[in-house]
Amino acid sequence: MSGPEALRPDEDLASAISGASRTDAKRLAIIDAATQLFIARGYDRTSMDEIAASAQVSKQTVYKQFQDKPSLFREMVLGITQRAEGIVEAISAHFEGIDRAEELEEGLRGLARSYAGAVLAPPVIRLRRLVISEADRFPDLARAYYVRAPGCGLDAVADGLRLLDRRSLLHVDDPPVAAGHFSYLVLGQLIDRKLFDPSDQITDTEIAEHSHGAVRVFIAAYR
């Protein structure tokens, strides 16, 4: 609501300069605490008391800022999802760096490694599990997340493959389908492992080896 664009007399100077009112700061603290707790403990096992305590705010303040627990959960998930854009840019950058045929295999390997590294990062995979877990209770939220996170990744890969097709480095008739093949060759099994076993620490070496095989298969099919 309020932002740095206006000085309102009911705010003290410090908060006006910092660009956020006290209530906005508390709102952020609440969202932050909710993010940590929901991701770490799940929806049902996180109580509004815990969120308030962790945000160092009273429970009443939480209910002033957010209508109820479902609303807070929605805002948290949708807010965090916007940060997924970083991955998309990284994917595009990798593709654009592939100019010549000799660079193709190593370029795709590098892409696969950073793609997998981003998706398998502990907070990211935990958020994925959380959203999947609550897909029955929040079906619209799960669909929105799918479009914004995995969907955007797939789109970025499709765009990149279209580029490589134009550069005559690959033959890609149907970029979205090919993007699905690439993405799930690279990510499918690793995501599954992490979803079922949160404690499974997938090393960079494993990711690299897995990416190597996945890229080899992909290139064999689309060269």
Partner DNA sequence: GTCTATAGCAGGATAGAC
Partner DNA sequence: GTCTATCCTGCTATAGAC
Q: Which residues bind its own copies (CB under 8 A)?
A: 41-42, 44-45, 129, 131-133, 135-136, 139, 142-143, 145-146, 150, 174, 177, 180-181, 183-185, 187-189, 191-193, 195-199, 213-214, 216-218, 220-222
Contact call for residue 47 and DNA (CB under 7 A): yes
Q: Cβ closer to its own copies: 66 or 218?
A: 218
Selected binder of DNA within 4, 40, 49, 93 (CB under 7 A): 49
CA trace torsion 22, 77, 198, 32 (10° rounding): 0
Backbone angles phi, psi at 8, to 5 degrees: -110, 140
CB neighbours of 56 closer than 8 A, spacing ≥ 6? Answer: 29
- Residue 151 CA to residue 140 CA, distance in Å, equals 15
CB neighbours of 20 closer than 8 A, spacing ≥ 6? Answer: 2, 3, 4, 28
- Min dist CB 141 to DNA, Å, is 16
Other beta carbons within 10 angstroms of residue 25's beta carbon come to: 14
Picked from DNA, its own copies, none, the partner binding residue 91 (CB below 5 to 8 A depending on kind) is: none
Q: Cβ closer to DNA: 41 or 166?
A: 41
User: Helices 152-166 and 175-196, interaxial angle, to 10°?
Assistant: 140
CA trace torsion 24, 26, 32, 36 (10° rounding): -160
- Min dist CB 178 to its own copies, Å, is 9
Picked from its own copies, DNA, none, the partner binding residue 60 (CB below 5 to 8 A depending on kind) is: DNA
Q: How far is CA 160 from CA 94, 102, 130, 167, 221, in A?
A: 8, 17, 29, 11, 16
Selected binder of DNA within 10, 136, 140, 173 (CB under 7 A): 10
Picked from DNA, its own copies, none, the partner binding residue 83 (CB below 5 to 8 A depending on kind) is: none
Report 25-44 residues binding DNA (CB under 7 A): 26
Residues that bind DNA (CB under 7 A): 10, 22-23, 26, 45-49, 57-61, 63-64, 68-70
